[in-house]
Amino acid sequence: MAGLLATLSMALPTATANAAPGSSIEVSVGYADNLRANPDHFPTPWDGAPGVVFAGCHANCTFDAGAVRFVNNAPVAVTVDSVKVKLSTCTFDMWPHGTVLQPGQQLIITQTASGAADGCTGDQGFFDTSDIGPNGAGWSGHCDNSGVIPEIDASIDGVPNVFTDSGQVLNTGGIDLASCPSGSNESEQWTDIGSVPCPGSTLTLAPPTQTADIGSQATVKATFANSCGQGIQGAPITFAVGSGPNAGTTGTATTDSDGVASFSYGGSSTGTDTVGASTSNPAGTISSNTVTVVWQQRQAQLTITGGATTSDFNDPATVAAVLTDSRGPVAGAPVVFTLNGAETCTGTTNASGVASCSLTPGEPAGTYPLVASFAGNATDLGSSATADFVVTREETTLTYTGSTKAANGQPYTASGVLREDGVTPIAGRTVTFTLGSGGSAQSCAGTTDATGQASCTIATVNQPAGATSQPVTAVFAGDAFYQPASASGTVNFLYLTGRAFGLESSGLVGISPTPDTGQVATSGAGTVAPPCVATLSGLISAHTLCAKVVTTVDPGTSTATASVQDATIGVLGLPVIRVGLVQSSSATSCSGSTGDTSVASITVGGIPVNVNVHPGPNTTVNILGITLVLNEQKPVPGADHGLTVNAVHIKAAGLLDVVIASATSDIHNC
């Protein structure tokens, strides 16, 4: 009743306000009539209400009496020493003295006996103040104003106070209201002392409608006021959900000093509740209007957070989002992640509302929308969130797997394997292979298959003849999905070597190889043939000495030949050695080497040596201290294949060493 009831001053013992100044004791008056019941007018609260100290008839009572109420809104207890009510010469002093009111308590005084009476009958426990006229005379049936102004004398905490009921609430306007007209209800709702009568009351529930999320609290407020709009404190209000998903839910509260009581309750499913409120008194029940509470799903919020927002093409990425609503994290809810409207995965939120799952982008490098979606459930509305997801090009590795050997004039097949991160094969990509460098570079391209392998063939290798090895490179240029990659290697070329000369001598007579092709080494086709030497004079003489090395490609062969028309060795102390026409040949390919020698004739000290025209390899003859090796054949160290063929090798006891018609052929990197 704060704000509606004025404050009385206990410093003014004859005050006529509705409370004692200096205290928070508030005073109001009313009239109780349940003979002619009208619950809206009957003073409420009444006996049995929370915090009410009731000084009146308690059980099975018929009320037809005035009533006075004292409310302690002080923060400390106060004592109502005594209360006397005066109507003209009639004084009522029939209530307990020294009533202690704790903070928030109220004292209500009224008749202590059940029933009605006429005139000044306080000694019988009646308090029928509407039937008391001047000088305590009976006033029953009177419709003319008695002119009597009720007075309340109250001592509070030892201070006397006088309250004047100038609105004549206690004596129903100075007339016997029950007779004017006959049968009228005389009840008057609690009214501030000194105010005009406020006979009726209203119980209003608000707000008319509201919306609340499932799992939250909805609050309705009931305002209980008299017909003058003064809030009535201390009235017990019962709230009830009459229909809807929470039908049957009830609660109670007591109105505060403004006449307001609140009720809060929760809802667990959607729908519309109808809520009402009521308060009761001995005349019946006062009911409020009804209001509605619409329970709706909570609004969920989804935020993409805590996971990856970038990944290489075709590399799994863990995406994450947190789902919350007004109550905090939402657990156990499925969240669907979609990248660029294509790749999807689903995660379920944990106790912290976090959902995560793995998806693999299949898009080319770029920025794409990542959408997280929650479809909603019985308690929460759906929600979605979008974030940028950056797809980067996948890392690649390229391994060269082609042959490390090649030969000019022949086809060469290059190959390589392209993989993601060195593991997963990449199909359908072009790899360019280059053999050699600069102006002699030769290239071809192949497309990777399901195993990541690409190959192509250079139809005819044509690299510089002097090159024994060349670099080979494999290059994947990259695309929108994959980073570039390259690999390199070294290709050793099939190269051909050989040497041929006509005659060579060491010891007592030294003669450099004559004529001499020199060491031939090439990966190409060619002929090395120095001019034949017509005559060689001296202790060792010879005629028509020739030497030649021929190389070919596809297939690669090295062929060396040497010939001497005749030779004579006349060195002092040695028998004269005469050699007729001799020829030697050596031929080598990757399949092996062959050699041959022809000797027309040979004599030592005039003694003919009996030999075949084509002596077998390494035929040895010893005569007159001279060792002859005919068709001498020796392998070439360090070559894949190679053979040196000397037609005649003459050795004289360490004094002389002569080789006639020597041919050597060999091959490398078969």
What is the rounded CA–CA span in Å between residue 285 and residue 42?
A: 10
The predicted model gives 502-526 an average pLDDT of 96
Tell me whether residue 127 is in a domain. yes
The reply to whether 381 and 403 lie within a common domain is no
Provide the mean pLDDT of the chain: 94
Which pLDDT value is given to residue 15?
35
The reply to whether 239 and 363 lie within a common domain is no
Which pLDDT value is given to residue 19?
56
Which pLDDT value is given to residue 283?
96
Per-residue pLDDT of 38-59, as tens digits, reads 999 999 999 999 999 999 999 9
Which pLDDT value is given to residue 355?
97
Q: Are strands 260-266 and 25-33 parallel, antiparallel or unpaired?
A: unpaired
What is the rounded CA–CA span in Å between residue 240 and residue 453?
A: 79
CB 457 within 8 A of CB 411: yes
- pLDDT score of 202 more than 90: yes
What is the rounded CA–CA span in Å between residue 487 and residue 398?
A: 6
Which pLDDT value is given to residue 654?
84
The reply to whether 288 and 317 lie within a common domain is no
Per-residue pLDDT of 443-494, as tens digits, reads 999 999 999 999 999 999 999 988 889 999 999 999 999 999 999 999 999 9
The predicted model gives 248-256 an average pLDDT of 97
The reply to whether 55 and 186 lie within a common domain is yes
369 prior amide bond cis, ω within 30? no
CB 423 within 8 A of CB 400: no
CA distances from 332 to 327, 559, 621 (A): 14, 85, 104
Tell me whether residue 9 is in a domain. no
Q: Alpha carbon 398 to chain centroid distance?
A: 33
Which amino acid, 649?
Answer: H
Tell me whether residue 521 is in a domain. yes
Tell me whether residue 355 is in a domain. yes
Structural domain for 234, as ranges: 201-296
Tell me whether residue 129 is in a domain. yes
Q: What is the DSSP letter of 395?
A: P
The reply to whether 514 and 599 lie within a common domain is yes
CATH code of the domain in which 482 resides? 2.60.40.10
Tell which wins on pLDDT, 653 or 350. Answer: 350
Tell me whether residue 149 is in a domain. yes
Which pLDDT value is given to residue 3?
30
Which pTM value belongs to this model? 0.63
Domain boundary among 461, 492, 523: 492
Using DSSP, state whether 137 is helix, strand or coil.
coil
The predicted model gives 161-187 an average pLDDT of 96
Domain boundary among 492, 514, 549: 492
The reply to whether 503 and 645 lie within a common domain is yes
- Structure-block tokens of residue 596: 């041959």
Which pLDDT value is given to residue 299?
93
Query: CB within 8 A of 626, min separation 6: which ones?
Result: 574, 575, 577, 604, 650, 651, 652
Per-residue pLDDT of 547-580, as tens digits, reads 999 999 989 999 999 999 999 999 988 999 999 9
pLDDT band at 23 (very low <50, low <70, confident <90, very high): low
The predicted model gives 284-297 an average pLDDT of 97
CB 41 within 8 A of CB 95: no
What percent of the chain stands above pLDDT 90?
A: 92
Tell me whether residue 13 is in a domain. no
181 prior amide bond cis, ω within 30? yes
Which amino acid, 366?
Answer: G
- pLDDT score of 420 more than 70: yes
pLDDT band at 123 (very low <50, low <70, confident <90, very high): confident
The reply to whether 479 and 516 lie within a common domain is no
What is the rounded CA–CA span in Å between residue 206 and residue 290?
A: 8
pLDDT band at 22 (very low <50, low <70, confident <90, very high): very low
Query: CB within 8 A of 423, min separation 6: which ones?
Result: none
The predicted model gives 100-119 an average pLDDT of 96
Tell which wins on pLDDT, 7 or 665. Answer: 665
Q: Are strands 159-164 and 151-156 parallel, antiparallel or unpaired?
A: antiparallel
The predicted model gives 116-132 an average pLDDT of 93
The reply to whether 664 and 582 lie within a common domain is yes
The reply to whether 238 and 205 lie within a common domain is yes
CB 79 within 8 A of CB 100: yes
What is the rounded CA–CA span in Å between residue 669 and residue 20?
A: 125
The reply to whether 79 and 128 lie within a common domain is yes
Which pLDDT value is given to residue 17?
45
Residues 617-654: b if buried by 16+ CB within 10 A, e if exposed: eebeeeeeebebbbbbbeebeebbbbbbbbbbbbbbee
**How many domains does the chain fold into?**
5
Query: CB within 8 A of 118, min separation 6: which ones?
Result: 128, 131, 138, 139, 140
- pLDDT score of 13 more than 50: no
Residues 3-41: b if buried by 16+ CB within 10 A, e if exposed: ebbbbbbbebeebbbbbbeebbbbbbbbbbbbbbebbbb
The reply to whether 163 and 78 lie within a common domain is yes
What is the rounded CA–CA span in Å between residue 132 and residue 434?
A: 129
The predicted model gives 433-449 an average pLDDT of 96
The reply to whether 611 and 657 lie within a common domain is yes
- pLDDT score of 12 more than 70: no
What percent of the chain stands above pLDDT 70?
A: 97
Tell me whether residue 3 is in a domain. no
Domain boundary among 340, 367, 392: 392
Q: What is the DSSP letter of 299?
A: P
Q: Which residue has the tokens 């060396």?
A: 560
Q: What is the 3-state secondary structure (H, E, C) of 225-283?
A: EECCCCECCCCEEEEEEEECCCCCCEEEEECCCCCEEEEEEECCCCEEEEEEEEEEECC
